[in-house]
Structure 1
């Protein structure tokens, strides 16, 4: 561990839970505190990530400077899309907003981005890294298929959705890092699927309070669980068995990713620092005997910055 990393680690320990905010301030105060519109667009995307996707934000802070800004643009784009389903009162309005982003994406790739911080930052990222349009289109189209709030029928359907959302972000991150590697893409696919499954589990209490279910319905018949049990936050064994079964699928994907990760370039591993938050949640879920409604699962992991930094230093997936 060289002097720079040792100093960084000491600063990390001193910052504690304020690490992410302090590091953001250092990043944004760099280059003699620019006040250009370009800088304000960068700040907007970073702040959007910090507020809406804190765990993804933490995992992105340690990316190389040449890639970090572009990855925050991609994450801001995803945040805008992911908020649409839960922020509209009518399905038609949701479709209109997704259609707006479709048109926006076309304009961005045509070199005529609208005057929107996210669109302008996306245009910059696409120009800098020649990002694939197909991944961004999939991120929009996947949301269109589920804008009505219906859940997933099967684990395969959930994994396909995760491939078009979470995996898409990871593949775009790899492109920002300049990595073209088949094994890295396979790792991204498994981690993306695991993230999609874990996100679905984590969101169960939120959706249950609104009398919605996102968990694959095939698991309900398998474990003889009714939707009403989910709505009332049941802690019964069959509900725990359902969550255990689903969490096991996520764990299997993470294990497959780590088996393949020994074949990928070392510099590619930094794209997968988000596994730190997944490991934490799965372990907390296990300690709570797979009671997805336990209050300790609703708390934020304030030790995440430390865990992410350790993965960064050790080059682990």
Structure 2
């Protein structure tokens, strides 16, 4: 059980409104509010109707179809960094979908090697003739992005091709930090933020995102007879992989989910604990915390039953959509 969590139903006693308050605290009006014309321009580009070349449209369509929550969050980014940030999300999607799209590990390794070579070429100003690679080269040139973060995402995704469960919760956190947190570091660089406090927040938010993503994917992976949950937590509660594969709703299965969700919540709480030190300009990189908080609250209300119909049927992006509409009213 995560430190500081006393009672199961007291795990997530902070409402979505508290997330908004946290966001407001680190985002003064002159930073967080974009002009209405900027949003309209972004929408026009996202619809492929104005000034959109093939590579940009490819990235937009890829993120919109495979990471819709990330796409919605991108609509709130400043216009001058929107294209670069969306490119980074497209790069992440390209790598994330390799595992599920290949039938053999060897093929996956070949695709990961392509991206390692592509990154070397991009930093030699010789980008590959590939839409995401072309756009990534433009982003690297514009924002002087750190190659180490990009390469770390590729390397960690490559290791994940082994298609096995995480041995420990710490191993899951390490994977999340090297993938999700690295992406947030890059988003911060696009926003011109290079600050130790922002990086510290990004580290914890990325870990929370990786853990929540693992929980969200349980029903999908179970339907394919796969379980990636940390084995140490499963063993602690006597829950087998077969329990998840058959969609068990027994207490030991819920206890596993509770412990894992508690850790995600702890990371979000820790990130908020020093929010007053985070530069206001960093705020747009943390927009997706609204969706993370929403899922954790909903799984708590379902008594940590990840197979509950309320988690399958309700639109998990509703808080993000409401948040976007609330920002429109500012203009």
- Structure 1 unmatched ranges of 5 or more: 12-19
Compare 294-303 and 177-186 and name the one that shifted more: 294-303
TM-score (norm 2): 0.84
Once the 2 structures are TM-superposed, how far is the Cα of residue 23 of structure 1 from its aligned partner? 7.7
Equivalent position of 1:184 in the other structure: 198
**Residues 139 and 224 (structure 1 numbering): CA distance in 2 closer, same or farther, change over 3 Å?**
same
Task: Provide the residue aligned with 1:271 in structure 2.
Answer: 285
Contact 2:44 2:50 in 1 (8 A): no
Deviation at 1:287, TM superposition (A): 1.1
Asked if the contact 1:104–1:113 (Cα under 8 Å) also holds between the matched residues in 2, the reply is yes
Residue 248 (structure 1) aligns with: 262
Matched, 1:293 2:307: yes
Q: Does the 8 Å contact 1:276/1:308 carry over to 2?
A: no
Residue aligning to 1:76: 90
1:139 aligns with 2:157: no
- For residue 261 of structure 2, give the secondary structure of its aligned residue in structure 1: helix
**What secondary structure does 1:110 align onto?**
coil
**What's the CA shift for 1:25?**
3.7
Instruction: Report deviation, 1:310.
Output: 4.8
SS in 1 for 2:321: helix
Are residue 159 (structure 1) and residue 173 (structure 2) matched? yes
Show the 5 A alignment for 1:50-69.
50-69=64-83
- Whether 1:33 and 2:50 are equivalent positions in the alignment is yes
Conserved 8 A contact 2:43-2:75: no
Residues in 1 aligned to 2:60 and 2:218: alpha-carbon distance in whole angstroms: 27
Deviation, 1:34, is: 2.5
Measure how far apart 1:309 and its partner are: 5.7
Aligned length: 298
Tell me the distance in 1 between the aligned counterparts of 2:321 and 2:67. 14
Contact 1:270–1:312, Cα closer than 8 Å, also in 2: no
- Any conservation in 1 of the 2:34–2:78 contact (CA below 8 Å)? no
- Secondary structure of the structure 1 residue equivalent to 2:161: coil
Map of 2:322 onto structure 1: 306
SS in 2 for 1:146: helix
1:82-138 CA distances to partner (integer Å, 9 max, x unpaired)?
000111111111111111111111111110011111001000000000000000111
Correspondence for 1:17: none
CA distance in 2, matches of 1:140, 1:61: 26
- The residue number in structure 2 matching 1:216 is 230
1:7/1:33 CA distance change after superposition, 3 Å: closer
TM-superposition CA deviations, 1:222-276 (whole Å, max 9, x none): 1111111011000001100110110000000000011121111111112100001
Partner residue in 1 for 2:21: none
The answer to which structure, 1 or 2, has the higher relative contact order (CA under 8 A, 6+ apart) is: 2
2:296 alignment counterpart: 282
The Cα shift of 1:155 comes to: 1.1
Shift in Å, 1:27: 3.6
Whole-angstrom CA distance in 2 between matches of 1:25 and 1:269? 21
Q: Hey, what does 2:246 align to over in structure 1?
A: 232
The CA distance in 2 between the partners of 1:128 and 1:142, in whole Å, is: 25
Give RMSD over aligned pairs.
2.5
Matching residue of 1:15: none
